């Protein structure tokens, strides 16, 4: 018998496959009057309330929601904790934006009090927006990661993070060395990787800020520990790409730099990839690497439009990223609102079920965690959301006109934001209540 058992009754929706592979109808399960049963923080049953209720003991506690939709928790595959205080910084594109705003803001994270304060704000903001798992960049300071993991551990969240490695082309006050980045990353891995639901990501910022020696050591770390993640940026901005060519003239292109240092693989997530070519997409797919699609950032920093159909053609794993603070919202609903427009500007469509996939199961697959998160299959961690159809007067009125779950879902993604997230559960525990 489980020690704790709870049940949640509402409309329930989750992705079970990529619509690009199986078609839209086979990509999801929807229960208009559904029941989700949680035993000791894991999902033990999902189905129609009428079928499941008779199988349960009469005294089980049931939380029943009207006008609400239960979905898996959202997965943010790219976000920067130390950029929380600089979201919405005016007027620059990537390289000037980094120098003008980002590096000064990140310089404060060697200070424990500051790192603790921002980690707390950052995690509350994730949960308020329904994000239950994120792949997180810290700053160059190990303290940024320690503060984050300490706060995440208290709430038993499934989170992935790493200390930025950067040993050149950044201000003196913010660089490490190849050797110190290796030693500091190793200490963080020993302390946190595999502890509870936490995982470590080796985090070279991007090719221009690492020497060949540092990239070599990043690759070495990946071979020394099983199941480590690797996160970095790629092909976001045209000037950035030119700069990489100047710094690594001996390599075929941007991706080839990372490939050469053995940073591609099944747990490698590359943010942006706005300007990747066909050959690079094929190589990413071949190595099982993933791309994090960050539409609010790509628009805000004027970087360009991500070509999702090309990624699909190559069967490349794609997750969704907010990229705060280049991105402008912690909300994956708002991020999908912008993703839709990025597709529209390219004459393509983004169906609401593909959007749901990107924010949940697609993210889980990019992180190789689809057996644990990103869907509501029995056996999964009970990381889920209650989305409120009456979150705002306009949403409430608009959804009363909706004819089906596809329309409801699309409207939630267009009008929805943090206000839409009524409750967030992590491993079966309520971690946010609006």
> Which entry of Zn ion, ligand GUN, none binds 148, CB below 5 to 8 A by partner kind?
none
- Compute the least distance from the CB of residue 76 to Zn ion, in Å: 11
Least distance CB 206 / ligand GUN (angstroms): 4
Beta carbon nearer to Zn ion, 175 or 271: 271
Q: Give the integer Cα–Cα distance in Å for 163 and 81.
A: 11
Question: Which two tokens mark 102?
Answer: 């980002």
**Residue 102 partner contact from ligand GUN, Zn ion, none using kind-dependent CB cut-offs of 5 to 8 Å:** ligand GUN
Of the candidate spans 46-54, 94-102, 181-189, 345-353, the one that interacts with ligand GUN by CB under 6 A turns out to be: 94-102
Binding mask 194-233 vs ligand GUN (x if CB under 6 A, - otherwise)? Answer: -----------xx--------------------------x
- Tell whether residue 370 is a contact of Zn ion (CB under 5 A): no
Stretch touching Zn ion by CB under 5 A, among 267-275, 283-291, 367-375, 377-385: 267-275
From the list 20-28, 164-172, 271-279, 398-406, the region that binds Zn ion by CB under 5 A is 271-279
Nearest residue (beta carbon) to ligand GUN: 326
CB of 159 to ligand GUN, least distance (A): 19
Nearer to ligand GUN, 292 or 422 (CB): 292
Give 198 or 271: the residue with its C-beta nearer to Zn ion: 271
Output the smallest distance, CB 330 to ligand GUN, in A: 15
- Could you tell me which stretch among 189-197, 221-229, 277-285, 322-330 binds Zn ion (CB under 5 A)? 322-330
Q: Give the chain as a 3 state SS string.
A: CCCCEEEEEEEEEEECCCHHHHCCHHHEEEEEEEEEEEECCEEEEEEEHHHHHHHCCCCCCEEEEEEEEEEECEEEEEEEHHHHHHCCCCCCCHHHHHHHHHHHHHHHHHCHHHHHHHHHHHHHHHHHCCEEEEEEECCCCHHHHHHHHHHHHHCCCCEEEECEECCCCCCHHHCCCHHHHHHHHHHHHHHHCCCCCEEEEEEECCHHHCCHHHHHHHHHHHHHCCCCEEEEEECCCHHHHHHHHHHCCCCCCHHHHHHHCCCCCCCEEEEECCCCCHHHHHHHHHCCCEEEECHHHHHHCCCCCCCHHHHHHCCCEEEECCCECCECCCCHHHHHHHHHHHHHCCCCCCCHHHHHHHHCHHHHHHCCCCCCCCCCCCCCECCEEEEECCCCHHHHHHHHCCCCHHHHHHHHHHHCCHHHEEEEEECCEEEEEC
Count the residues of the shown chain that bind ligand GUN, applying the rule CB under 6 A: 11
Q: Considering the complex, what minimum distance in angstroms separates the CB of residue 101 from ligand GUN? A: 10
How many Cα atoms within 13 Å fall on the side-chain side of residue 101? 20
Assess 297 for contact with ligand GUN (CB under 6 A).
yes
Q: Which does 283 bind (CB under 5 to 8 A by kind): ligand GUN, Zn ion, none?
A: none
* Residue 338 makes contact with ligand GUN by CB under 6 A: no
Query: How many Cβ atoms sit within 10 Å of the Cβ of residue 23?
Result: 11
Question: Which of 125, 323, 381, 418 forms a contact with Zn ion (CB under 5 A)?
Answer: 323
Asked if residue 164 lies in contact with residue 137, where contact means CB atoms within 8 angstroms, the answer is yes
Shortest Å, Cβ 327 to ligand GUN: 8
Work out whether 176 is an interface residue with ligand GUN (CB under 6 A).
no
Nearer to Zn ion, 146 or 296 (CB): 296
Least distance (Å) from ligand GUN to the CB of residue 93?
Answer: 10
Select the binding partner of residue 199 from Zn ion, ligand GUN, none (C-beta < 5 to 8 A, by kind).
none
Contact with ligand GUN (CB under 6 A) among 323, 383, 388, 417: 323
For position 236 contacting ligand GUN by CB under 6 A, the verdict is: yes
3 in Cβ contact with 40 (< 8 Å): yes
Gap between the Cα atoms of 271 and 427, Å rounded: 27
Interface residues toward Zn ion, by CB under 5 A: 271, 323
Q: Which residues bind ligand GUN (CB under 6 A)?
A: 80, 94, 98, 102, 205-206, 233, 236, 297, 323, 326
């Amino acid at each position: 018998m489980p020690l704790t058992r709870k049940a949640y009754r509402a409309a329930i929706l989750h992705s079970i496959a990529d619509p690009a592979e199986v078609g839209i109808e086979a990509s999801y399960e929807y229960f208009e009057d559904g029941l989700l049963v949680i035993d000791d923080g894991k999902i033990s049953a999902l189905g129609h309330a009428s079928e499941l209720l008779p199988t349960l003991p009469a005294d089980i506690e049931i939380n029943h929601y009207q006008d609400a939709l239960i979905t898996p928790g959202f997965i943010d595959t790219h976000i920067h904790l130390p950029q929380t205080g600089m979201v919405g910084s005016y007027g620059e594109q990537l390289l000037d934006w980094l120098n003008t705003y980002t590096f000064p803001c990140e310089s404060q994270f060697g200070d424990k009090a500051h790192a603790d304060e921002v980690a707390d704000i950052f995690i509350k903001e994730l949960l308020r927006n329904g994000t239950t798992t994120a792949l997180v960049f810290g700053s160059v300071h190990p303290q940024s990661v320690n503060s984050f993991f300490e706060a995440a551990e208290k709430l038993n969240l499934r989170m992935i993070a790493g200390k930025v490695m950067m040993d050149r082309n950044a201000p003196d006050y913010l660089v490490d060395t190849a050797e110190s980045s290796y030693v500091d990353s190793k200490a963080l891995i020993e302390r946190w990787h595999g502890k509870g639901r936490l995982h470590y990501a080796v985090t070279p910022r991007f090719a221009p800020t690492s020497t060949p020696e540092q990239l070599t050591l990043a690759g070495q770390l990946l071979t020394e520990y099983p199941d480590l993640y690797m996160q970095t940026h790629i092909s976001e901005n045209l000037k950035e790409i030119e700069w990489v060519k100047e710094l690594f003239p001996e390599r075929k292109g941007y991706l080839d730099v990372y490939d050469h240092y053995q940073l591609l693989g099944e747990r490698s997530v590359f943010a942006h990839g706005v300007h990747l070519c066909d050959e690079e997409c094929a190589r990413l797919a071949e190595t099982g690497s993933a791309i994090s699609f960050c539409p609010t950032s790509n628009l805000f920093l004027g970087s360009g439009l991500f070509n999702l159909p090309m990624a699909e053609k190559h069967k490349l794993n794609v997750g969704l990223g907010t990229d705060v603070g280049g991105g402008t919202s912690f909300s994956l609903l708002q991020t999908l609102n912008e993703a839709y427009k990025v597709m529209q500007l390219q004459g393509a469509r983004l169906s609401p079920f593909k959007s749901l996939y990107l924010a949940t199961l697609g993210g889980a697959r990019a992180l190789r965690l689809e057996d644990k998160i990103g869907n509501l299959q029995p056996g999964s961690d009970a990381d889920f959301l209650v989305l409120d159809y009456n979150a705002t007067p306009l949403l409430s009125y608009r959804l009363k006109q909706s004819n089906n779950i596809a329309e409801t879902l699309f409207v939630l993604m267009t009008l929805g934001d943090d206000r839409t997230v009524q409750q967030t559960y992590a491993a079966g525990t309520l971690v946010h209540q609006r």
